[in-house]
Amino acid sequence: MVQLPRISDERGSLAFGEAERHIPFPVRRVFWTYGIRDGNQRGDHAHRTCRMVLFPIGGSFDIEVDDGCSKVVLHMDDPSLGVYIPPLVWCRLTRFTPDAACISLASEEYRSEDYIHDYEEFKALVIEH
C-alpha cells in the first residue's frame, strides 16, 4: 500500500505524492478509468516490467491482487491510499460504485507487449522467476 500525505481542514482534504518519494518510481504515464458500468471489470492482466500505483479518486471499487501464489482483495475508497502493483502481479478491478474513478500511475509508457492477458501464461512466468 502507498499512503500519501493528506492535509485536511474545514475546507476539505488535499492529498499529494511525489515521484520517487511517495510513489516508488519515476512516473512515465498517468491514466484514469471512470464511468464503469455496473458489473464490468477493468485490469484483468499483469505486466512484465511496468510498475503501477492505483488510487481511487472517486467512489470505490475492489481490487484483486494475485502474485501467482496468493490472492488478496482490497476495498479501495480512500483517495490518499493506493495500492502498489509490481511486475508479474495479476490485478483485476471490480465492484465499481457509479461514481468510481481510478487514477493509475505507471513507471513506463504504454507498450502492448508488456501486458500479459492470459492467466496461464502469467502463472508460468511467475514459476520461471
pLDDT for 10-68, tens place per residue?
999 999 999 999 999 999 999 999 999 988 999 999 999 999 999 999 999 999 999 99
Q: How far apart are the first and last CA of the chain?
A: 23
Q: Taking the CA atoms of the chain, what radius of gyration do you get in angstroms?
A: 15
The pLDDT tens digits for 94-122 are: 999 999 999 999 999 999 999 999 999 99
What pTM, to 2 d.p., does this model score?
Answer: 0.91
Q: 36: buried, middle or exposed (CB in 10 Å: 19+, 13-18, 0-12)?
A: buried
Which residue ranges form the domains of the chain, and what is each CATH number? 2-128 (2.60.120.10)
What distance in Å separates the CA atoms of residue 68 and residue 112, rounded to the nearest whole number?
Answer: 21
